[in-house]
Amino acid sequence: MLQTLIYFFMGLSLSMDTFSLSLSIGTTSPTKSQIIKTALIVGIFHFLMPLLGSTIGSFFSNALYLKTNYITFTIFLVLAIQMYLNKDKEEKADILNIFSIFLFAISVSLDSFSVGIAFGITKESTVIAGIIFSIVSSIFTYYGLKLGKILTEKYQEKTTNFGILLMFLIALKYLIFK
């Protein structure tokens, strides 16, 4: 029971960036279908990445740690630019095409991959952790996208600009601090 609670709190911490980025992307006014699809795919990746990380183990951990921040920075920067370029268009939700959803899901799941590597070293139960990570991240993604959309409907341009700025600042965080 205690281990499940620990996995839950790990899932919460791993999902904080997912929530803030979902909030940002939610300012592009995604459709209900896009919100559900994105939440499910993010959840799937938060399940698969720890399993993959655990399988690969500690051999690649140092090399991947140095590169994941640059990959994440690039993905979030591209999403911020895409949000900026689409902010005045009628159909703002184009940012959540299937390719962008997969990029988003991979980028917010990279930290779960690193946790999976640690689990592989310590022989933790990766499947149970992955299930918990998946559920928590799906919920955080869903509500982040919904809240971003609600705020945009209420505050229009200000929320979209805030979402773009937030996405850019999070991209910079991965470049500078990770």
Q: For residue 22, tell me if it sits in a domain.
A: no
Q: For residue 39, tell me if it sits in a domain.
A: yes
Q: Above 90 in pLDDT, residue 142?
A: yes
Residue with tokens 């281990």: 3
pTM of the model: 0.77
Query: For the segment 8-41, what is each residue's pLDDT rounded down to a tens digit?
Result: 988 888 888 888 889 888 888 888 999 999 999 9
Residues in the chain: 178
120 residue type, one letter:
G
Query: For the segment 156-168, what is each residue's pLDDT rounded down to a tens digit?
Result: 777 777 777 877 8
Q: For residue 17, tell me if it sits in a domain.
A: no
Q: For residue 151, tell me if it sits in a domain.
A: yes
CA dist 153 and 161 (Å) reads 13
Q: For residue 60, tell me if it sits in a domain.
A: yes
How many structural domains does the chain have?
1
Residue with tokens 């300012």: 27
Strands in the chain per DSSP E = none
Q: For residue 5, tell me if it sits in a domain.
A: no
Q: For residue 24, tell me if it sits in a domain.
A: no
Q: For residue 6, tell me if it sits in a domain.
A: no
CA dist 126 and 128 (Å) reads 6
- Identify the domain containing residue 171 by its residue range: 31-176
